[in-house]
Amino acid sequence: MAFIDEVQLDIKAGDGGDGVVRWKQEKFRPKGGPGGGNGGAGGNVYIEAVPDLGYLDYYLHKKHFAAEDGVPGGNNEKEGRNGDDLTLKFPRGTVLTNTETGQEFEVAEIGEKVLILEGGRGGLGNTHFKSSTNTTPYEWTPGTPGQEGNFNVELRLFADIGFVGLPSAGKSTLLNALTNAKSKVAAYHFTTLDPHLGDMHGYILADIPGIIKGASEGKGLGYKFLRHIKRTKALVHVVGLDSENPLDDYTTIRKELEDYDLSLTQKDEIILLSKNDLVEKNDLEKIIDDFKKTTGHNHIYTMTAYDDDSIKEFKSILTQYLDNK
C-alpha cells in the first residue's frame, strides 16, 4: 500500500441541545410553575498525536466525522447531558488546515491533544426566563450549532537527518547500512516511492524519495516529498560516484531545494560521496577537491556499502554530529 501523507476531512463539533418548555407537576397544581431545563453543550473535537506514521490510512474510506450533540433539557429543571467529545488521532507531525479560515493546527509530540472545533452551547429552558413579572414564561432558546470545517490533513515527517539526492544515488542503501530500515534497493530510478525511516542509536533517519530536476515545479515523484525535508534537523546530501558528473548532480538538487524553500539550503548539510569503490583513488581525490572548492565544505565524506569499515566510520561521524547538536 502506498504511503498516505495527505487527506481531506469534513469534521463537525456537536450542536448544543435545545432548552425546553416544561411545567412542574405537583399534586393539585398541574401547572406548578416553569420547570424546563437547559440543553447540554455539544461535544468538542480534539486531535491527538500518535507514533504510527501509517495512521492516515484510517481516513482513506471515512471522510466525515462529528462529535455528539448535546441532549435537550428535561423536566423539573433538569439539564440535558453534554455531548461526548470526539478525539481524532493522527501521526506525529500532522498539520490540519481549515480550508475556509486558513487556521492551522499541529500535533508535534506523542500524546499531545489540541482543540480544533468547539461544540455549540446548550439552549435555555423556560425556567431561566421566570421573573416576578413573568411567572409562566413560554420562552426558550435553541442550542447553538457546533463549529465545523473542511480540513486539509498533511503529514510532515519529523526526522533528525534527511537523506537527499538524485534517484539511485545510494540513499536507501545508506539507510539500510546505518539502520535496520530494510528499504527496498535496486539499480533503477524511483525504487523508493515512500519515505523510509530508520533508527540509529535513538536518532531518526529518513530516506527522502529521489528528487529530480524540476521537482520544485511539480515534476517527478520528488515534489510530493519535498515538504518532508522541512522537518529534518539536518541533511545528508548523497551523491553517487557512478554519475558522469557528481558535482552537477549536487548542484541540481541544491537548486531544487532552493526553489522549493530557501530555508532548506540553510540547514546543516553533510556531503557524502557514495559508491567510492567505482572510482580510482586519484579521480576520487580530484572530485573531493572540486566539491570543497564549489561548496566551501572542508569535510567531504565517502563510503561504499561493500566496505564495512567505511560504513562504521560514517556512522560514527554521523552519531558524533547528532550527539553534539
Q: What is the CATH number of the domain that holds 166?
A: 3.40.50.300
For the residues of 205-273, what is the DSSP string, one character each? EEEPPPP-TTGGGT-TTHHHHHHHHTTEEEEEEEEETTSS-HHHHHHHHHHHHHHH-GGGGGSEEEEEE
Q: Is residue 105 part of a domain?
A: yes
Q: Is residue 93 part of a domain?
A: yes
Residues 71 and 144 in one domain: yes
Residues 295 and 173 in one domain: yes
Q: Is residue 277 part of a domain?
A: yes
Closest CA to 241 of 213, 210, 207, 279: 279
Residues 87 and 180 in one domain: no
Q: Is residue 241 part of a domain?
A: yes
Residues 149 and 164 in one domain: no
Residue 297 sits at the vertex; the CA angle it makes with 294 and 301, to the nearest 5 degrees, is 110
Domain boundary among the residues 127, 155, 183 is at: 155
Query: Residue 211's pLDDT is what?
Result: 62
Cα–Cα distance for residue pair 165/223, rounded to 1 Å:
13
Q: Does residue 84 contact residue 31 with C-beta atoms inside 8 Å?
A: no
Query: Residue 217's pLDDT is what?
Result: 54
Q: How many domains does the chain have?
A: 2
Cα–Cα distance for residue pair 229/74, rounded to 1 Å:
55
Query: Residue 214's pLDDT is what?
Result: 58
Q: Does residue 114 contact residue 107 with C-beta atoms inside 8 Å?
A: yes
Residues 145 and 197 in one domain: no
Residues 212 and 95 in one domain: no
Cα–Cα distance for residue pair 195/14, rounded to 1 Å:
37
Q: Is residue 253 part of a domain?
A: yes
Residues 106 and 179 in one domain: no
Residues 189 and 314 in one domain: yes
Domain boundary among the residues 106, 122, 155 is at: 155
In the chain, the largest separation of any two C-alpha atoms, in whole Å, equals 110
Residues 163 and 306 in one domain: yes
Domain containing residue 15: 6-155
Q: Domain with 80 in it: what CATH number?
A: 2.70.210.12
Residues 151 and 163 in one domain: no
Residues of the chain with pLDDT under 70: 1-3, 27-31, 181-195, 209-227
Cα–Cα distance for residue pair 177/304, rounded to 1 Å:
10
Domain boundary among the residues 155, 184, 219 is at: 155
The pTM score is: 0.70
Query: Residue 91's pLDDT is what?
Result: 87
Residue 116, all three cell numbers: 480544533
Residues 71 and 116 in one domain: yes
Q: Is residue 1 part of a domain?
A: no
Residues 96 and 16 in one domain: yes
